[in-house]
Amino acid sequence: MTKKIILLLALILLTFSSAEAAEENDLPFDTLATSYVEGGNEMLALVKVKSDGKLSFMVMAQGVQAVGLVPYSRNVYDFYLNKSADGIYSPLISFMVLPGQKRGELDDNLGEWRGEAHLLPFYILFDVQDGQVVCEDRLFSASGLNPSHYHDDVKNPNHIRLLKVFATHMPRLHKDIESKGITLP
């Protein structure tokens, strides 16, 4: 049931990517900005939860039977803008909430479970080329929510796709946020 609700939310979000549409359809969040482009089948959105005002990133990809939520933080939002003096980017480290998941799939041993929600910590190596984020082939995770080391590969193709969409769509999401004049903490 939870999975159907999340997928329905994703469909509605892809169809109605505005706060007005969310209100009309009684969604539990407002969509502030998206990386959606006409004819696209993947998207990263910045959403604001109506009940508590918290910001999150919502990730969707065609063919993936899941929606990912990543809590907003300025560090995560600006991850690809900060290069060290050596010209190296720090890894993108956070976690993705995967609601409505069932056990018995790849990556079950990673992160932690809270009911049907799988919380998957991630560590992504990337580069930026011509303003676009390019991900390494390997994405990393570990058991527990706050691991000291990320030794395990993410293996579930759905999780890999969602993580790559999250990272690679961030520059496009930045452009939509800027075009709408949204100021973020």
- pLDDT tens for 24-48 read 556 788 999 999 887 788 999 999 9
Residues 6+ apart with CB under 8 A from 32: 19, 45, 46, 47, 48, 55, 177, 180, 182
- CA atoms 170, 153, 108, 158: torsion sign: positive
State how far the Cα of 18 lies from the Cα of 24, in Å rounded to an integer.
10
CB environment 156-175: b (16+ within 10 A), e (fewer): bebbbbbbbbbbbbbbbbbe
Nearest to 182 by CA among 100, 105, 77, 101: 77
Structural domain boundaries of the chain?
2-179
Q: Which pLDDT value is given to residue 126?
A: 96
Number of Cβ atoms within 10 Å of the Cβ of 103:
8
pTM for the full predicted model:
0.87
Question: If residue 161 lies in a helix (H) or strand (E), which one and from where to where?
Answer: helix 157-179
Residues of the chain with pLDDT under 50: 1-8, 11-23
Lookup result for tokens 């505005």: 18
Question: If residue 57 lies in a helix (H) or strand (E), which one and from where to where?
Answer: strand 55-61
